[in-house]
Structure 1
């Protein structure tokens, strides 16, 4: 019969109280501006700059969100941003996957093609803004969704 060793007890690590207090202070420091922005956004207009400040609005309202989305055309901007960003993301992922596969699988373009593709990232985009603008204006892509999608796809 084999001898059985006694089960080891795990040591409970105690978290120093100072570390928890520091973490709590940091959390409040980081989250307080977010709370204040949200709180101010649901306050009526009369409660913005009252002294003493209103910590919890008595009559929360969503009128400011309604104004931002509809009166100031924020919903149009949000929809445009979603269309452009999703299109550029899908197109970049698709083209990047196909290019990476062809570079890894086939011996295309010589041995320096992959270095050439990566070296294009060294050129700062601000250096080619004027030529891209002039080309876009010439071919009618200036201020269009397609123009932005192409630019974001190329530069990412």
Structure 2
């Protein structure tokens, strides 16, 4: 934290695990997740704010997640329509992990498949092609891009 810009750049090249951003997952009781509060959470948050400022902290009930994952998928979908108590926090955990690491999803589509790649936010389309294969980066000409939300809303590439 008290490094000169030159020292900070040198340390960054070492890719130290301790220099990576952190997302703290706090395992709390299932009832606390459903109520939206826990007697220890704010104390833990204060500690995180003091010793790891800027880090994200998420409450998670591992036992609740385990119950959700063990449910029959059709039954779970039906329960989720009527109540948020059966909603998993795992998508939010993944989203926060991506945000902390400054990653985004990069999708490629073909006639019969869609693939998802993880790339650093701000990566050029040419470099993103290199995440698939170095030959694609070298021979890159152009890309059609769209936001996933637009594609999801309009449901067809031609409309986006």
TM-score over 0.5 for the pair = no
More contact order relative to length (CA 8 Å, sep ≥ 6) = 1
Q: Larger Cα Rg: Structure 1 or Structure 2?
A: 1
TM-score normalised according to structure 2 size: 0.23
More strand by share: 2
